Structure 1
């Protein structure tokens, strides 16, 4: 544990050691894993000498080591496969083309490892299955690897997997899945009264997970989720309602009458900025520039919450009301990284839960009952508010993170933040009676 002076106070950082001018994360390896890992301590440089910068990094390393050590104690199929491949690589054997490597070296290791036992231990057993070509690569394997690479997509990907496994009657090797299975799955979802756009949302992570699994594991099969046709796609679309000025005023009255909490803070900021719900739910405290001139959010992707498009990385100007709400949210939590830790953690964001709770709340407020207004309606409403004050379309797109059509939009740095701030203030002023 390292100690640091901060004026009259002394700070102590657990799992931290100072060496030279840098701080290092240092954690004792559990006794049951020391032989497996070949060391008593795990050490990693934090790349800083500032204890305040080190604290969130220490938390991140704690989560990472917890996850890796948990995997060693109770390995998932994807984790076991990864360890098996690493084992093969240590002996110069390519799991994709084993005949080209020194198989005799690995066979000797297998003989020594098995000894008098009837069953090989892991990961040797999986490594042998890989070499023999009998190791299945299942739907769960594909989703596990995809979620590990894209934790922000975990909720939707895992829900899509549950639907698919339910339809198929269980897990299956992805190399044995056929196009007829996928087309049947689409019909099955449509038969559950899902809209065509909802079905497409569930197919998207499956397509991405299959593509990644085939590419990264060099599987010799096609992505059966590529270019899937959904019958009558988009023809069942119901136009989304957009907030009118009277409905904005009803929403503001409801927000003013309700004590500020996490959900109401998120809703207020979405209403005042036109940002996507996930963008606000996944904010880090470091994204907030509340004392800048003008105050704004420096929105960027995070491991727990990617952004929808490259153009979504932007600076979002804040009204006084949105700034004060964000400041209060920042002061309400002791989490050093996440602004809304109830719904955003290192593992991902629970945007769907926030959306469901807010939609239910909004549609039960006076002046908003019996509507189909939702969180995304606020983005469309902000676009209308910006149009009403004659804000240029490119500037409006820059504020709410829409792609502006045309080649010219790709040149230059866009409108200055001060101009965007003036437009967002004027747009929100339209809501005032």
Structure 2
């Protein structure tokens, strides 16, 4: 047993941990390239035993994932690519159900609604409904009951999830369930609706960073003058999402026909956008303009504006967030993060009485109303005027 599993354990502060790389051909099913968690023991023997069981379970599951994708004779005849168990015989009569199981509902949902959607959309559907299957089993949709939904809720609460996280998971499960029910013409009501839990538990509001602290941060960025600080400076005076900024190409940052700096935010293979309204042009003023000039002034021309966060084919926004949040702590209030600059930008635009639809276009927020779907939106000269006033 030790020979099998010792490569899957490591020790940190006396506690044994399990670690295993996800095979390259299965990476699309995971949000990380490795699986790592505490084995909750200081005993090497116990750790090896637990690691061995975990490794065997993973091998079985990975085999299951690979066989699902295998090319089988007659695969095109299988419903949604999955086979169904043969009907059970009860009292000499065949009992069948043609209702989708939850795992099939996920495939239907993603096949029809997942076209062109970011990887996070697909991952959320698989993960959230996977939680249901772990707790309640993979049943035909009509077989799920309110007791199953309550059991699922209790399991999420036991995991220590905040109310906002539970709300997000339930929202995804309801979307999948209701879509599949409508698509199949089933006359059932989702048991995952109207499930009670404390939605405010563990939720802490994301605070804005005061303007005086923003000025301090911007001054420190100019003093240090490196790639990480250019990224902070871009976000501080635009309110961009961190991933939006970190995934920019050098050519996405340019001067328009009037000689003014602009950032073009569009989806890329290495970094998708959260919503359709996230696609936009953002004028660069204040510290963002300074950062644009510093990026383009570099003699060693590189493809990415921030190459250190784009070395693996995917923009590593998590790495950027961890490193920059750690640096920010010395200059901002407790609990403030890089995302707080986005909240601050909204507050700064409100403070100068910027119209809501202009603020929405600057930040890539969705604006309600049919009319907002027409035309190209405000020209960058109008957006720049309000950003200069706010910054």
Shorter-normalised TM range:
0.5 to 0.7
Is 1:266 aligned to 2:231, yes or no? yes
Q: Which residue of 2 aligns with 1:251?
A: 217
Aligned-residue CA RMSD (Å): 4.8
Whether the 8 Å CA contact 1:152–1:304 is kept in 2: the answer is no
Q: Please, which of 245, 251, 254 is the counterpart of residue 289 of structure 1?
A: 254
CA 1:160 to 1:317, structure 2 compared with 1: closer, same or farther past 3 Å?
Answer: same
Whole-angstrom CA distance in 2 between matches of 1:225 and 1:141: 15
Q: Do structure 1's residue 173 and structure 2's residue 138 form an aligned pair?
A: yes
Inter-partner Cα distance in structure 1 for 2:196 and 2:319? 27
Aligned equivalent of 1:151: 119
- Is the 1:207–1:223 Cα contact (8 Å) retained in structure 2? no
Q: Is the 8 A contact 1:151 1:348 kept in 2?
A: no
| Residues 356/157 of structure 1: CA separation in 2 closer, same or farther (3 Å cut) | farther
**1:404 lines up with 2:384 in the alignment:** no
Q: Which residue of structure 2 lines up, in the alignment, with residue 280 of structure 1? A: 245
The verdict on how the C-alpha distance between 1:88 and 1:389 changes in structure 2, with shifts beyond 3 A counting, is closer
Q: Deviations over 1:149-202 (max 9, x none)?
A: 74244776676578667x639xx5354883434432322323444321122234
Higher radius of gyration, 1 or 2: 1
Q: Which SS does the other structure have where 2:282 is aligned? A: strand
**C-alpha displacement at 1:397, in angstroms?**
1.8
1:286-323 deviation per Cα after TM superposition (whole angstroms, max 9, x unaligned): 43334654221222233444333332221111126424
Change (3 A) 1:335 1:252: closer
TM-score, length of structure 2 as denominator length: 0.61
Partner in structure 2 of residue 199 of structure 1: 166
CA contact (8 A) 1:206 1:225 kept: no
- 1:55-134 alignment, distance < 5 Å: 77-78=64-65, 80-84=67-71, 87-89=74-76, 94-96=77-79
Question: Please, which runs of 5 or more residues in structure 1 have no aligned partner?
Answer: 1-65, 98-125, 429-433
Gaps of 5+ in 2: 1-23, 30-60, 89-99
Contact 2:135 / 2:155 at 8 angstroms: preserved in 1? no
CA offset digits 1:193-245 (Å, max 9, x no partner): 432112223445555667788999x8999896863635233476543321222
Question: 1:294 touches 1:418 (CA, 8 Å); kept in 2?
Answer: no
> How far apart are 1:377 and its partner, in Å?
2.1
The residue number in structure 2 matching 1:386 is: 349
Structure 1 residues 243, 332: CA separation in 2 closer, same or farther (over 3 Å shift)?
farther
- Taking the aligned partners of 1:86 and 1:286, their CA distance within structure 2 comes to 48
TM-score (norm 1): 0.56
